[in-house]
Structure 1
Amino acid sequence: MRPAALPPRFDPREPEVVENPYPTYARLRAAGPLCRSGAGSWAVTRHADVLRLQRDPRLGSQFPEHYHRLSAGDGAASAFFQRIMLYRDPPEHLRLRKLMGKAFSPAMVRRMRADIEAITDELLAPALDGGGLDVVPELAYPLPVRVICRLMGIPEESTDEVRRFAIDLGRAFAAIVPDEARAAADTAVGWLRERIGALLAERRRHPREDLISRLLAVEDAGEALTHSEIVDNTVFSFFAGFETTVHLITTGWAALLDHPAERARLLDRPGLAATAVEEFLRYDAPIQGTARYLNAPVEIEGRKLRAGRVLILLLGSANHDESVFDDPAALDIGRTPNPHVTFGGGAHLCLGAFLARMEGTIVFERLASRVREFSAAGPAHRQANTPFRAYATVPVALSPR
């Protein structure tokens, strides 16, 4: 029978949720496995349910066209979301993922390790000489942008320009994009398409051994990929290849600034960098929730959700589930095991997870081995109007060893 009482409602736009969602998540988990979200949508709060539903074939990622139009409007961003692999189901998703996955394979990423270390050292050098940095513009953005450019064979753009358009595109990943952000998102898509399109044209004339040239070879071989799909999925892979890593790096630094004991622990034991990265991903996940479309009815603890509904998997809540994580509100950079769900699961496991982990580990290894101490040089400010757990600025003072 259908439960009589309606579950509580969750609104991610509430100021207290934007500032710190975790107390709200705790109340929602205590109330039950489900909560109401927007119109016609529900959210899942607990780790076991999120983990199971990530792999449930009844949950799809391909939303009807009217959903994207309602969410992002009628412009370039809406069309972009309808083509990218993030919002496609099999067989289209599998084909696109197989192609784009070549740039993010563990073997390809491992070959980039020396480059990532060199770029990290280059970016940290001025901070070590000058005694400080703003983590966001001086490290967290330029590092992953330069790395993904090299991986995909894309000329390195001005990181300031890339950052501006990345922020505008990132806002369009919200469930409902505010009217004032839609034009900027459309412009960002257009800017990125123009540059990727020009690069595709150049690679068609002069092929190389890179992802762009391989995608063109697939198109020329008559695979079921249109030129627009290739352009938009290359844009998405470029964006996805650095966006999450940016927020992983910044939230990791911010967490250490707020936890002096864990900061000292890392500085004393740089070998903890890899487990620290996993804890940063759990403690304040860059992506707090993922939306799924119910292609068939799903029952969760006696409540039957109809097909055609939207189900939000609250990754941030699952990562703080008391039944899985001891003292989940505490930062523990040595936490093991750490079965967080930040990178998703099933067919939509994050394509860039291996790359993000490597970049994050190298950053915090390099930091711990070169710095005697670091502390806040001013207040860290959250980035406003974004679906990510993101910072606009994280100023840091540091003392080199």
Structure 2
Amino acid sequence: MTSVGRVLPPRFAHDDPTVVVDPYPHYAQLRAAGQLCRFGPGQWGVTRHADVSALLRDRRLAHGFPEEYRRFAIGDGPATEFFGGISIVRDPPEHTRLRALMSKAFSPALVRRLSDHLTGIVDELLEPALDTGILDAATDLAYPLPVTVVCELLGVPTADRDIVRPRAADLARGWSTEVAEADRPHVHAAVVWLREYLGALLEERRHRPGDDLLSRMLAAGSGEDSLSQQEIVDNAVFLFFAGFETTRNMIGTGCAALLRHPNQLARLRAEPGLAASAVEEFLRYDAPVQGAGRMVLSPIEIGGHTVRAGRVLVLLLGSANHDESVFERADRLDVGRSPNPHVSFGGGTHFCLGAALAREEGRVAFERLLHHFATIEPAGEPVRRLTASGNIRAYDSVPMQVRPR
């Protein structure tokens, strides 16, 4: 990278414990200083909404990373190869082929058909709290809801779901620019287990197709355009992150935000039609994934600085979502915010394939939560799930005291 007058951008200490707990004041300082920040060795962070939004669609950036980079991020093991083959990190033409075939199997029509079923799942998860008056939004709702939905989409038998859930949670630990040493064995083991499990389930579907996602992925395409066995298995495994972790964290951080902003909770209760808008605001206000890494293919100039090919740009989604030039009173939670052009689902050809499902799960979860309980109050201090890189915003516990209607 070259810089005008040799003045380097400020450094973003993303792994500093105080930043991991609350990165937003630090983002504000970085945005005020410029469009770029130093992030790590060979890495530069992009701080402002206009740049992040444009770069999410820029063909000079690649989603795929060299194997040596993945080994640095997660260490040697099965997950190193796995994270290099899934659709989200592939570039055209491979990404185009994979996404087109997966989209046939994972259509918006499927999400629309799921709506009533989602209501039943959420009602069942909330039922114990009707008697106890205590609900942990993280463990009782945000965690089981999306993984149950993904299991149902893939046709995982009900009896197996309790053993699948912890593997899905372990897989999610691998979604970071640098995975903590203590987490790496869990991520590698989860990839092996989920590959074997879904591979066996896929073989069953070859002989006895159903109406599940695995069967539709088998049926999608034909001849040279069809998905291979490994592509189906690995992209099905990836759905345990794409269809689970983002939704889980959005529900957890959304509930925590409402407890901290009782005026917005009261507004949502008075205007239940704002549930869909509230989901968008939760995605903006405390984005489940804070940054998206991209490999620079050819030099890019940003704010008077040139980032050379071979460097990594980290598009700071969390910072872009709090850019004061785009979002009025960006530090305030506003469940009715409109417009709300957040970038939490990415953009361009890699816009999140499961965005429609995540939005619908969130809408139903918050609607049913307010439908069942006349009062929702804190029952203790929420416990953040802190990761070494701070890239994932999540809670291990969001205790609530609830009173049924």
TM, length-normalised to structure 1: 0.96
- Deviation string, structure 1 residues 164-207 (Cα, Å, up to 9, x no partner): 22332222111112222211110011111111011011112212
- Deviation string, structure 1 residues 228-269 (Cα, Å, up to 9, x no partner): 222111110233112110001100100001111111111222
Q: For 1:299, what is the secondary structure of its paired residue?
A: strand
Root mean square deviation of aligned Cα: 1.7
Aligned to 1:395: 399
Distance 1:200 1:158 in 2: 15
Aligned to 1:96: 98
Aligned to 1:2: 3
Aligned to 1:288: 290
**2:179 matches 1:177:** yes
Sequence identity (%): 57
Aligned to 1:112: 114
| Kept in 1: contact 2:246–2:358 (CA 8 A) | yes
| Alignment partner of 1:140 out of 139, 142, 152 | 142
Q: How does 1:188-203 map to 2 (within 5 A)?
A: 188-203=190-205
Distance 1:240 1:287 in 2: 11
**2:164 matches 1:162:** yes
From the superposition, tell whether residues 259 and 315 of structure 1 become closer, same or farther in structure 2 (CA, over 3 Å): same
After superposing the two structures, state which structure 1 stretch, 32-41 or 155-164, moved more. Answer: 155-164
| Kept in 2: contact 1:169–1:185 (CA 8 A) | yes
Q: For 2:356, what is the secondary structure of its paired residue?
A: helix
- Deviation string, structure 1 residues 151-174 (Cα, Å, up to 9, x no partner): 233334655543422332222111
Q: For 1:112, what is the secondary structure of its paired residue?
A: helix
Distance 2:141 2:106 in 1: 21
Q: For 1:100, what is the secondary structure of its paired residue?
A: helix
Gaps of 5+ in 1: none
From the superposition, tell whether residues 355 and 313 of structure 1 become closer, same or farther in structure 2 (CA, over 3 Å): same
From the superposition, tell whether residues 163 and 173 of structure 1 become closer, same or farther in structure 2 (CA, over 3 Å): same
Distance 2:340 2:132 in 1: 36
After superposing the two structures, state which structure 1 stretch, 85-94 or 163-172, moved more. Answer: 163-172
Distance 2:278 2:221 in 1: 41
Distance 2:203 2:17 in 1: 46
TM, length-normalised to structure 2: 0.95
Distance 2:221 2:99 in 1: 15
Q: For 1:397, what is the secondary structure of its paired residue?
A: strand
- Deviation string, structure 1 residues 310-341 (Cα, Å, up to 9, x no partner): 00000000000010111111111111111111
| Kept in 1: contact 2:284–2:318 (CA 8 A) | yes
Gaps of 5+ in 2: none
Q: For 2:11, what is the secondary structure of its paired residue?
A: coil
| Kept in 1: contact 2:61–2:295 (CA 8 A) | yes
Q: How does 1:247-258 map to 2 (within 5 A)?
A: 247-258=249-260
- Deviation string, structure 1 residues 122-173 (Cα, Å, up to 9, x no partner): 1111112221211122111211112222223333465554342233222211
Distance 1:149 1:162 in 2: 8
From the superposition, tell whether residues 157 and 61 of structure 1 become closer, same or farther in structure 2 (CA, over 3 Å): farther
Distance 1:398 1:104 in 2: 36
Q: For 2:157, what is the secondary structure of its paired residue?
A: coil
Shift of 1:82: 0.9
From the superposition, tell whether residues 382 and 160 of structure 1 become closer, same or farther in structure 2 (CA, over 3 Å): farther
Aligned to 1:75: 77
| Kept in 1: contact 2:151–2:161 (CA 8 A) | no
| Kept in 2: contact 1:273–1:361 (CA 8 A) | yes
| Kept in 2: contact 1:102–1:211 (CA 8 A) | no
Equivalent residue pairs, number = 401
**2:310 matches 1:308:** yes
Aligned to 1:64: 66
Shift of 1:219: 8.2
Q: For 1:9, what is the secondary structure of its paired residue?
A: coil
After superposing the two structures, state which structure 1 stretch, 271-280 or 92-101, moved more. Answer: 92-101
From the superposition, tell whether residues 284 and 81 of structure 1 become closer, same or farther in structure 2 (CA, over 3 Å): same
| Alignment partner of 2:267 out of 265, 268, 272 | 265
**2:11 matches 1:21:** no
